[in-house]
Amino acid sequence: MRAIRHGFGTFASVAVLLTGMAVAAEVRAVPPPAEGAPAAPAAGDREDFGASCRTVVEGSQVTAHCSNPYPRTDRIRLHVECDRWWDVDSDSAPVDVVPADYARVTARCWKEVRSAWVTHQPVDPAPAPGPLPERNS
């Protein structure tokens, strides 16, 4: 019996060592960022994108209320993680929220909800900065 426990400890140590080596190799394999890649917006800059969303959990029902005040269309998805191991987590279908519009997305679990969140994805390119076109009166 003692030999079995000693053998398992050795096996576990080797497994941890190999996993650590694999992770280290993967980290080293990540390429550096390209020089021509666009930089993230500076702290003072504002990115005009992303609907403002609020999630409400009532029992096993989740509702996300989103409104888009920006000039770009936002594709949102509601993700729900259920508390019970046998309860199926769900991701909603993508919903496009056009500028100055509102969307409501719902999902549910059979029992308790562990967490819910909304992800955002830009649909159209950012508008080019510049002067506004003149209006004819």
What does the DSSP assignment read for 51-115? -EEEEEEETTEEEEEEEE-SSS-EEEEEEEEESSTTSPPEEPPPEEE-TTEEEEEEEE-SS-EEE
Q: Which class for 68: exposed (0-12), middle (13-18), buried (19 or more C-beta within 10 A)?
A: buried
Q: Which class for 91: exposed (0-12), middle (13-18), buried (19 or more C-beta within 10 A)?
A: exposed
Up-side HSE of residue 60: CA atoms within 13 Å toward CB? 12
Instruction: Give backbone dihedrals phi and psi of 106, rounded to 5 degrees, phi first.
Output: -125, 155
Structure tokens at 22: 């694999």
Instruction: Give backbone dihedrals phi and psi of 77, rounded to 5 degrees, phi first.
Output: -140, 135
* Other CB atoms within 10 Å distance of the CB of residue 69: 11
pLDDT of the chain, 137 residues: tens digit per residue = 454 555 655 655 655 554 554 444 333 434 444 454 444 455 554 567 889 999 999 999 999 999 999 989 999 999 999 999 999 999 999 999 999 999 999 999 999 999 999 999 998 776 666 676 677 75
